[in-house]
Structure 1
Amino acid sequence: MLGWIGAPVLVRRLVWPLMPETYSRSDWRALGNIKLKHYVLRKGKHGYWLPTAKMRAMGFGIVSCGHDGPDAWAIAKEWEERYQRARSGLEKPPARVYPTGSVGDGFERFRRSNEWKSKPPRTREDWDRGWKYIDPLFGDVDPKTVTFEMLDRWYGRLKVTKGDGEAGRALKIWRALYNVLAGMKLCLPEADPSQIIRKTGVPGRTETWQEGEVVRLVKAAWRAGYRGLACVIAVAWDTGFAPVDVRTLTPAQAVTSGADMAFTSDRAKTGEPAIGTLTARAQRLVEAYVAGLDYDLHDDAPIFRTKGFKPTGRGGRPRLPVPYTKDSLIDDFADLRRAVFGKGEMRRLMDMRRTGAVEANAGGASVEAIAAKMANSIDQNRRLQKTYMPVNIAAVRAADEARRIGRRLLGSEQNKLRKLKLGGGKS
């Protein structure tokens, strides 16, 4: 018998072997005696979760739950709980509901999976950044109907409006998402029409910093009250860590090796273990910063924080220092860079990591030592690099010493090229 929108259907059948593992036996016994709101049957066997007009205005749409049974009830129960949480203000309602089997529907399913949750935060950010270009054109579309011509026009328009870098990122995420959708049986595997498109490469960054410039940045930040930022810059310069790995450092990651202070870290981007040593100057800076805090740091709390704000005679709302986020670190560093070097300077904090590799290479460090320092595999065989060259403090120190040698060579006359005049002319 057909149910109406908002009319409950009594769940009468319990088939234990088919019950999803996420629900216990007692959960399903309870469902046998209660009514699932907004769950209806069509043709006596297909279950749907049908929201009311008020619920649709919040962003909820019709959800196909499949053949009537424990699996369908679980889906209906999940959506009902999401609605109740959204109605109570405990969860944001869905911004958009995609047709069943569409590209957007597949992506939403993937985002609720453990596979998605296991991805590093930076990887998830990369997917979301690419998805914002995919969604407007393909979110509601059946992936089997997407053609080469559609993708070609989409990619070409992105290149013109957003540049080669963002267009390439969007195409990369589309290709990764297509493989996910194929695994969900929403499209044919190995039939992605975008594979015909040749992605335009983007030249890599080559910018580097000089030690004196970094010293100027650190001193300017400290004097302006941005002491957390000053420490972030000093630590990034010494350790070669990426900005995200520096701003998330905690007291629990601080270690000593002899007279040296260092930080251990699992890189946010790759999960690779890393060791970053500090010079005596950076160590004194970090110790002075921590000693000057008005509170005790928890072992797992980020060390470096924003400046905050204390109202003066002109008034204003006080703001406590908080751990640096990606955006706040970018903004504060950009303000500092502009104050020290002017508006024309566009180098970034992340370029200090590249500088370390350039200096170590110029100083004669081996590829193995540089790989240990940077916690990545810069040779051709990643598996052998992991097996035979694990991260160790001796290799990191070798790279540090090579950086010092390379820094001197890069700043000396030996690194400068002058025009050579061949032949002095006839007398």
Structure 2
Amino acid sequence: MAEIKLKHYVVRKGKHGYWLPTAKMKAMGFQIVPCGHDGPDAWKIAQEWEQRYQRARKGLEEAPAGRIYPPGSVGDGFARFRMTHEWQNKPTRTREDWERGWRYIEPVFAASAPSTVTLELLDRWYHHMVAKKGVGEAGRALKIWRALYNILVSFKLVAGEDPSLGIRKQSVKGRTQTWREGEVIRMVKQAIRDGYHGLACIIAICWDTQFSPVDARTLTPAQAIESESDMAFTIERGKTNEAAVGILCRRTRRLVETYIASLPFELHEDAPIFWSRGYQPGKKGGRPQPPKPYTKDSLVDDFADLRERVFGPDERRRLMDMRRTGAVEANAGGASVESIAAKMGNSIDDNRKLQKTYMPVNFAAVRQADEARKIGRQKLASEQNMFKKLKLPNVKS
């Protein structure tokens, strides 16, 4: 093989080529680029990055941001996808889901050409994650890989069927936990006693409206509406972009209006309504924390603390389980699947297009689901003590 000299190109262990930027080049955003086995293909990659650096140095193109991957690699394909309008138009929670799955894909496959990723490699990767991270996280990563593979095909970086389709993904057992109305009232009262007024409102709203926690904590004054004597919030669900209306009961309405009136500042129309309590150091010291609009993490932490104070450390039900509770109550009360879909802001029946066309979100459908919830709640409560131990003959106790 002919010897060739390329600027910033080195060979390690006698066979692996790398394009190595200097500290000054790294400050511009360039990173180490693995070029593969030393040879014409590796030299071509190194030349491409050297030319890119020279153009950036002269101001002819922008320097790259973030980690750099070999051209045509899995990482390069994902980086290109993140520059598209399709990526930007994805809901925030969907992008977060992709990034979370990418954390597991990146260290193993990012620098590889998609065509070199085989079923055997994916099988070892997936089952290693199942053992280390659990079925849920492994399934998330595999789901993102399969979606990313379709993107790589669209970029013509690989052809053929995704080899991961040969892996049978293990399923996570679905959650079945529900809440009772009395338990929710206890938590709301305890939150108020502890000074978590924003949290108390979020819990009450989740119970009344079946909004997800993220939809409840991000409500703004601009989303508040009134119909007859009812106060409600109209939203576009963060996960599905489906329209939904959540009607508050009179008790929750008073709670929310009292909370807003007590705020020491005036809310902007598009500002989040519900704020955390903040923290003031006690005898043990610590850093003071001012009240802030609830984030995902702060809501999870505050709700967990409140739940433990009310029910003890062994309680594991979540705020999101109130959404399921409402569906269970409405179903027990005889609500139609269309009314439940309108209430929850999704299409839980089989035909999504017909649901959107013939059953748009409206107050009548939401009220019907709310009334069915009350009936179902009474039925479920009356059945709590209907079962007792059956004493069978010839069985020792």
Note whether the superposition's TM-score is higher than 0.5: yes
Q: 1:248 to 1:115 in 2, by over 3 A?
A: same
Q: Secondary structure at the match of 1:149?
A: helix
Residue 80 of structure 1, aligned match among 29, 44, 62: 62
Partner of 1:132: 103
- With 119-128 and 104-113 compared, the bigger mean Cα shift is at 104-113
Shift of 1:417: 3.3
Tell me which amino acid in the other structure corresponds to 2:321. D
Q: Secondary structure at the match of 2:176?
A: coil
2:56 and 2:63 in contact (8 A); partners too: no
Shift of 1:52: 3.8
Q: 1:109 to 1:77 in 2, by over 3 A?
A: farther
Tell me which amino acid in the other structure corresponds to 1:175. R
Partner of 2:149: 178
Tell me which amino acid in the other structure corresponds to 2:212. A
Distance in structure 1 (CA, Å) of the matches to 2:174 and 2:387 = 24
2:210 and 2:326 in contact (8 A); partners too: yes
Partner of 1:43: none
Shift of 1:106: 1.1
Distance in structure 2 (CA, Å) of the matches to 1:148 and 1:409 = 51
Shift of 1:79: 6.0
Partner of 2:126: 155
1:97-136 Cα shifts (integer Å, max 9, x gaps): 2111111111111112211110001101111111111111
Distance in structure 1 (CA, Å) of the matches to 2:7 and 2:119 = 40
Q: 1:307 to 1:201 in 2, by over 3 A?
A: same
Tell me which amino acid in the other structure corresponds to 1:187. V
Higher RCO structure (Cα 8 Å, ≥6 apart): 2
Residue 355 of structure 1, aligned match among 322, 325, 339: 325
1:219-239 Cα shifts (integer Å, max 9, x gaps): 111110111001000001000
Distance in structure 2 (CA, Å) of the matches to 1:338 and 1:98 = 46
Distance in structure 2 (CA, Å) of the matches to 1:73 and 1:57 = 16
Distance in structure 2 (CA, Å) of the matches to 1:355 and 1:268 = 20
TM-score by length of 2: 0.85
Q: In the TM superposition, what are the counterparts of 1:8-27 in structure 2 within 5 Å?
A: none
Tell me which amino acid in the other structure corresponds to 2:380. L
Tell me which amino acid in the other structure corresponds to 1:207. Q
Q: 1:64 to 1:250 in 2, by over 3 A?
A: farther
Q: Is residue 123 from structure 1 mapped to residue 105 from structure 2 by the alignment? A: no
1:304-362 Cα shifts (integer Å, max 9, x gaps): 01111345687654432111111111111111111111110000000000000000001
2:218 and 2:273 in contact (8 A); partners too: yes
Partner of 2:167: 197
Tell me which amino acid in the other structure corresponds to 1:286. V
Partner of 1:289: 259
In structure 1, list runs of 5 or more residues that go unmatched: 7-48, 83-92
Distance in structure 1 (CA, Å) of the matches to 2:386 and 2:365 = 29
1:275 and 1:396 in contact (8 A); partners too: yes
2:56 and 2:62 in contact (8 A); partners too: no
Q: Secondary structure at the match of 2:235?
A: strand
TM-score by length of 1: 0.79
Partner of 1:99: 70
Distance in structure 1 (CA, Å) of the matches to 2:255 and 2:193 = 12
Shift of 1:74: 9.2
In structure 2, list runs of 5 or more residues that go unmatched: 1-5, 9-18, 34-44
Shift of 1:282: 0.4
Q: Secondary structure at the match of 1:411?
A: helix
Partner of 2:345: 375
Q: In the TM superposition, what are the counterparts of 1:224-263 in structure 2 within 5 Å?
A: 224-263=194-233
2:208 and 2:246 in contact (8 A); partners too: yes
Q: Is residue 331 from structure 1 mapped to residue 304 from structure 2 by the alignment? A: no
Residue 168 of structure 1, aligned match among 115, 139, 145: 139
Residue 346 of structure 1, aligned match among 302, 305, 316: 316
Q: 1:390 to 1:73 in 2, by over 3 A?
A: farther
Q: Is residue 309 from structure 1 mapped to residue 291 from structure 2 by the alignment? A: no
Shift of 1:175: 0.3
Partner of 1:397: 367
Q: Secondary structure at the match of 1:180?
A: helix
Q: Secondary structure at the match of 1:80?
A: coil
2:29 and 2:63 in contact (8 A); partners too: no
Tell me which amino acid in the other structure corresponds to 2:324. R
Distance in structure 1 (CA, Å) of the matches to 2:223 and 2:138 = 38
RMSD of aligned alpha carbons: 3.0
Distance in structure 2 (CA, Å) of the matches to 1:203 and 1:75 = 54
Partner of 1:384: 354
Q: 1:304 to 1:414 in 2, by over 3 A?
A: closer
Distance in structure 2 (CA, Å) of the matches to 1:65 and 1:288 = 66
Distance in structure 2 (CA, Å) of the matches to 1:372 and 1:305 = 28
Q: 1:404 to 1:415 in 2, by over 3 A?
A: farther
Partner of 1:17: none
Q: Secondary structure at the match of 1:383?
A: helix
Shift of 1:422: 9.3
Q: Secondary structure at the match of 1:265?
A: strand
Shift of 1:413: 3.6
